Amino acid sequence: MPATVGALALALAVTGCDDSGSGKRGKGGSGSHSSASGGSDEKKTYRLGEESPEQESSKTTSKDGKYTVTPTKVETGTKADMENSGLKKDDKNGPKIPVYVWSTLTHKSGTAMEVGDMDDKLVMKTNAGGRTRALIVLMGAAKWPNCPEPDSSKKLSPGQSEKVCTAFLIPEGQKAAAVELSQGYYKAPLEWPVTN
């Protein structure tokens, strides 16, 4: 393998996380909050800085673990951030810009959990209705100003918290509308609208 290939940062942003074709039940519009679990009185929308309800770990290594996620700040990056990130330009899918989400992850109870197990359900929703998961760098590393890559393998025990910054890539020209926390296929996601 040529040495230059190893230096390239190849990135993958999982996109297309909207309801169409995802296997989700229910055909209601965006205003519909019906779910297979019932419970229409469950709170689904939060302000930035508000803690989520306890979430259950989906990992077999920490299946009894419970944690919360508190998105605290959302900031849209610039073209310059993208150009200086070290990522290879993606001509196929059009230009992207980064959006940075700062969150506090808190382990509440159960087996120790890795940080990466607690922030992997975050989704960025855009003003155009698109959804994207956090940026995953396959080879190399991406560098963002004031948004260091979290130590995903760091373990937290009950009562411990970690402040992390997560980068998302959205199409240039769109804006961050909300941070979402996926609740699986049968429950509506929790949402923290972006107000700036």
- Burial of 187: CB neighbours in 10 Å, binned 0-12, 13-18, 19+: middle
pLDDT tens-digit readout, 9-46: 333 343 344 433 333 333 333 333 333 344 456 789 99
Lowest pLDDT segment from 26-30, 50-54, 115-119, 191-195: 26-30
For residue 116, the model assigns a pLDDT of 87
Is residue 139 very low, low, confident or very high in pLDDT (cuts 50, 70, 90)?
low
CATH class for the domain made up of 45-193: mainly beta
For residue 10, the model assigns a pLDDT of 35
Query: Domain map of the chain by residue range?
Result: 45-193
Phi, psi at residue 195, to the nearest 5°?
-105, -5
Model pTM greater than 0.85?
Answer: no
What is d(CA 179, CA 189) in angstroms, rounded to the nearest whole number?
10
Grouping H, G, I as helix, E, B as strand and the rest as coil, residue 11 is strand
pLDDT tens-digit readout, 55-113: 988 887 888 899 999 999 999 999 999 999 988 877 787 889 999 999 999 999 999 99
* Contact status, residue 115 vs residue 164, Cβ threshold 8 Å: yes
Contacts 24+ apart (CB under 8 A), 173-178: 174/126, 174/127, 174/128, 174/130, 175/76, 175/126, 175/127, 176/74, 176/76, 176/99, 176/124, 176/125, 176/126, 176/127, 177/125, 177/126, 177/127, 178/124, 178/125
Nearest to 165 by CA among 74, 114, 103: 103
For residue 28, the model assigns a pLDDT of 35
